[in-house]
Structure 1
Amino acid sequence: MTLRKAARLILVGAPGVGKGTQTERMHQRFPQLSSISSGDLLRDNVRNRTPLGIQAEHLMSTGALVPDSMILRLIRNALTTRGWLMPKEGVQAFTVNSVAADYVSSGQDNYVTMPQSADTEYAYSEDPDASFILDGFPRTAAQATQLAALLPINMVIHIHTPPSIIIDRICNRWTHAPSGRVYNTTFNAPKIAGKDDITGEPLMQRNDDKPEVWKARLRSFEEQSLPLLEHYDKKGILWKVEGNSSDEITPKIFTEFQRRFGA
């Protein structure tokens, strides 16, 4: 499937709803879609020892959170490197390396002295090949506003599965720890209850797969995501899809995405 214009997507959904599955299927169906993960960008910069990566590693080693301005810098660099985001004429471009190098050499202990994304104006590509799904950012309405200073997201997909279905799916999951084999008593049960099919060894349930843990996680998501969803709803780009399984949800996403962006 080909696209007629650039699609800039965010998927929002509770833990366990299948965002990763939908992202993978979207990439397979629409090859022009790229994936930009804020977590991957951060890990790549740390691994490659870029000036910004060194600073991020220092922050994380002290238990501090990586600030939004740093994540935005990573996203901006990824987009400008691909040619999808261009400083407007007469505006200085700040790169991950140049700005972070100045920052490191200055000996500052925080990130607030660095230029903010709202200080510059950018032109963005509408070429279909400049299409992407942004993962991991934004998570709040404030972050969404900061991101909009770089470029506008033009579709936000809210994936909704009833919490009872998610809890049933996750909390019926059992694992064979030595091999990593995963079973589900609902749709992929072991041949013998509580035993691994290959070795016969006992299966275990992870502590974070227990019902009380997931109920708390889902409540937290609902509370934290509401302002973000309301923000994008006001922008007129929020689209909600509902279903009890990924297989039920995927065709709906394909149809709506094709309607909005397909050639």
Structure 2
Amino acid sequence: MRLILLGPPGAGKGTQSARLEQKYGIPQLSTGDMLRAAVKAGTPVGLKAKAVMESGGLVSDEIVIGIIADRIDEADCAKGFILDGFPRTVAQAEALTALLKQKGRGLDAVVELLVDDGILLARIEGRARDTVAAGGTVRADDNPEAFKKRLAQYHEQTAPVSGYYKSIGELRTVDGMAPIDEVTKQLDAVLAK
């Protein structure tokens, strides 16, 4: 099962990825984790990434795709993988499609968790209020202002990725606003097709 989960921050991709990992015995691949591992291992692509990161630059799509190419060839990806948080742009989606085609593979599913931005924001604001009321400190990712910026960035850069996958007939959707177990059932139904 080779799968991409799409959706804005707070949509539940991480929760569903963990469930899918367990059900299918496939790893969830995080580009950040993969970059750090490649740098630590000193792979050719990791050395390129290290040089860029040490200079304070952003790692190019070419380097990220190279790291993904190496990672999906590892033994634990033999049965598949879940990409959550990648691709972030249409250019990355196109590069991933080309990479998989080159390797004689394709995606089994691209699933977008459809959510309501207003409800997501209300959840984050409620979580922040509850944390403060309990005497705690609000985490950076539970800060409503920071969340609004992440959401705007998602809509500007990443939301078009859904359109790309829709245009090539690979996009499926589920109601990400449903209760967690219901979202899981919807995902199971989509993946069974």
TM-score (norm 1): 0.63
Distance 1:210 1:35 in 2: 26
Match of 1:66, SS? coil
CA distances 1:197-256 after superposition (whole Å, capped 9, x unpaired): xxxxx3222455333332332232122223211110011110111142433311111122
Q: Which residue of structure 1 lines up, in the alignment, with residue 9 of structure 2? A: 15
Identify if the C-alpha distance between structure 1 residues 207 and 137 changes in structure 2 by more than 3 Å, giving closer, same or farther: closer
Q: Greater helix share, 1 or 2?
A: 2
1:252 equivalent among 159, 170, 186 = 186
Equivalent residue of 1:172, what SS? helix
Q: What's the offset of the Cα at 1:83?
A: 9.6
Runs of 5+ consecutive residues of structure 1 not aligned to the other structure: 1-6, 85-128, 175-183, 196-201
Taking only aligned residues, the RMSD between alpha carbons, in angstroms, comes to: 2.4
How many residue pairs get aligned? The number is 187
Deviations 1:124-163 (A, max 9, x none): xxxxx53211233211111111111121323111002211
Distance 1:75 1:206, change over 3 A: closer
Matched, 1:135 2:84: yes
Runs of 4+ in 1 over 4 A off after TM superposition: none
CA, structure 1 residues 81+250, in 2 after alignment: closer, same or farther (shift >3 Å)?
closer
- Which of 99, 103, 111 is residue 157 of structure 1 equivalent to? 111
Alignment partner of 1:63 out of 56, 60, 65: 56
Give the counterpart of 1:45 among 34, 38, 49: 38
User: Is residue 45–residue 66 contact of structure 2 (8 Å, CA) maintained in 1?
Assistant: no
Q: How does 1:1-263 map to 2 (within 5 A)?
A: 7-31=1-25, 33-82=26-75, 129-151=78-100, 152-174=106-128, 185=130, 194-195=133-134, 202-206=135-139, 208-244=141-177, 245-257=179-191, 259-260=192-193
TM-score, structure 2 length as denominator?
0.84
